Structures are given as structure tokens and as C-alpha cells.
Amino acid sequence: MKIKSEPSWEQPATLIDLDGTAPLIADLRECVRHFMALKAQAKADHRILLTQPTARADRPTRTWILDPAGIEALAGRLQDRHNDQPPQ
């Protein structure tokens, strides 16, 4: 899934596990960071539920749920933003 525009990193979001593990309720940035710490097998079972929908390149409508591919795309953007910041 390709996301057209970057959602707000500060928006509340929920990282859910399809196996029923307790969700992580935090901002989108923290949910993406938590997702990236998971093993590959666990990543396949996780989704992020957004509080504000985001546009997707492959759909005419916006979505409230990010699948693993969409979360990986956001993680890449987050990493790029982190790499662009000068050291403090």
C-alpha cells in the first residue's frame, strides 16, 4: 500500500494485533516505532487504526487502517526524517 500524503505523526493511533494481544494506544510515531521493533512474523499480524483517515494511492477512498506494508512505508519516511535532522 502506498500512502499519498504523510499523516500527522502526533495523531492518536492504536497498534492492534490480530491474535488479540493488548493494543498499544499512543501517537502514530510511537506505534510505528513499536511495529518496527517486532519480528517479521509478528509484523504480519499487526495493523494500525488511525483516528484520522489517510489517502492511499491504490484506492479512491481514504482508509482508517494501515496494513503492514503501509506501516513499513511510514517507517521508511520516519527513518528518512530522522536521518535528515542534524545531530544535537
pLDDT by residue (tens digit) across 1-43? 566 667 889 999 999 999 888 999 999 999 999 999 999 999 9
- Whether the pTM exceeds 0.95: the reply is no
The whole-number average pLDDT for the span 43-50 is 95
- The confidence score (pLDDT) of residue 2 equals 63
Sequence length of the chain is 88
DSSP state letters, the chain: --BSSPPPTTSEEEEEETT-PPPEEEEHHHHHHHHHTS-HHHHTTEEEEEEEEEEBTT-SSEEEEE-HHHHHHHHHHHHHHHHHSPP-
- Which residue type occupies 77? R
Give the residue carrying C-alpha cell 500527522.
8
- Judged by phi (left if over 0) then psi (alpha if -120 to 50, else beta), residue 20 lies in left
